[in-house]
Amino acid sequence: MKSIYISVISFLLFFSINSELFAQSSEEESEYEIIGTATVSFICSGMREQPSAGSDVFVELDKGKTVQLYDFYQEPYLKISVDSQDGFVSRACLESSTLITNLMYQDDHQMLGMIRRHGERNAKRIREGEVWVGMTEEMLIESWGTPNSKNITESRFGRSEQWVYRKGQYQNDYIYLRDGEVESIQIRE
């Protein structure tokens, strides 16, 4: 009788511990929500168990495969679900989309605004303070700010402007715009 009683207590204790573990794992699984789908852009290393290059790959992904995308991003990994299995892939494995871009920059509203206005590639260049031929006046202001002075020329060929940025007491950089677009750049090094 005593051994049956101990067995029942052991079972109840085992059941109680496993129920708590199951509840915790269910909570962890529901921590992130599926927000849409994405497409595998090329054959990559595959889906990993953790968001880490050192993590094991446990599902191979073929180009063109559609995966479900969770609201999780940890540079450079996204959480996905494929055939009822959850794991992580590098964002480079998935075709670029507005959904992925918004997820990557969800806490950076300024960057999201620049991406919407100028595209992701240009927004990154602006964020880095780059200036390039072909960028718009708006992009230039976002990258370098307003110039210290402007020289404007109106002619039959249109409007051209020289924007002067002071970089030191005796050093200026010059950006030349024609009809609101950067046409040439003169930077002193």
Q: Does residue 175 share a domain with residue 140? A: yes
Q: What residues contact 64, with CB distance under 8 A and at least 6 apart?
A: 39, 40
**Separation between Cα atoms, residue 180 and residue 160, nearest integer Å:** 8
In a domain, 20, yes or no: no
| Domain residue limits at 73 | 34-104
pLDDT of 11: 46
pLDDT of 43: 63
> Among 79, 49, 45, which residue's Cα sits nearest to residue 62?
45
- pLDDT at residue 96 greater than cutoff 90: no
Check: CB of residue 14 under 8 Å from CB of residue 55: no
pLDDT of 104: 77
Q: Give the pLDDT confidence of 103-123 residue by residue, as tens digits.
A: 777 767 788 788 889 988 999
pLDDT of 8: 44
Residues in the chain: 189
- Total domain count, the chain: 2
- pLDDT at residue 16 greater than cutoff 70: no
The average pLDDT across 148-167 equals 92
Q: Give the pLDDT confidence of 69-94 residue by residue, as tens digits.
A: 898 888 788 899 999 999 998 888 88
* Amino acid residing at 43: I
CATH code of the domain containing 159: 3.30.1450.10
In a domain, 23, yes or no: no
**pLDDT-derived band of residue 150, with 50, 70 and 90 as boundaries?**
very high
CATH code of the domain containing 48: 2.30.30.40
- pLDDT at residue 128 greater than cutoff 90: no
Q: What percent of the chain has pLDDT over 90?
A: 30
